[in-house]
Amino acid sequence: MDQHRFTFTGATWTYQVINPHDDDDHDGLPNVVEIDQLHSDPMKADSDGDNMPDPYELAHPCLSPIVNEAFPTLREGRVIPGIADADHDGTENRDEFLRGTDPCDPESRPEGPADVG
């Protein structure tokens, strides 16, 4: 990845040249797929910042790599409430990711108490 910096008449801006065939965030998704198809960030393995990697969210249709399900978002002037527990089984999506259960299937629940910390 090349990074260029230009300064002219009091203004400074930076741009990056991204190779579409590379995977700059090492998440298994080529840059061109993240930019053109998913509209996710090719420089972040977790584009929406919800602590679940983009490929995991793509593998689970109730999740999205560009929508942080755990927090409310503003879309077209409306607040969309966060859905921290997509399958409504009492376990938040991130905990299901960490514990290896399916966040889209209410029958797939972790056993035992969640780890704290």
For residue 17, pLDDT over 90 is answered with no
pLDDT digits (tens, 9 = 90+) for 24-52: 999 999 999 998 999 899 999 999 888 89
> Taking the alpha carbons of 106, 107, 108, 110 in that order, is the dihedral positive or negative?
positive
The Cα–Cα gap between 23 and 30 comes to: 5
Burial class (CB in 10 A: 0-12, 13-18, 19+), 35: middle
pTM of structure:
0.73
Spans of all domains in the chain: 23-99
pLDDT at 24: 92
Please answer whether residues 87 and 103 qualify as being in contact, where contact means their C-beta atoms are separated by less than 8 angstroms: yes
DSSP, residue by residue, 14-83: EEEE--TTS-TT-SSS-HHIIIIII---TT-SSTTSSSS-HHHHHHSTT-BTTB-TTS-EEETTEEEPP-
pLDDT digits (tens, 9 = 90+) for 62-100: 999 988 877 766 667 666 666 789 999 989 899 999 999
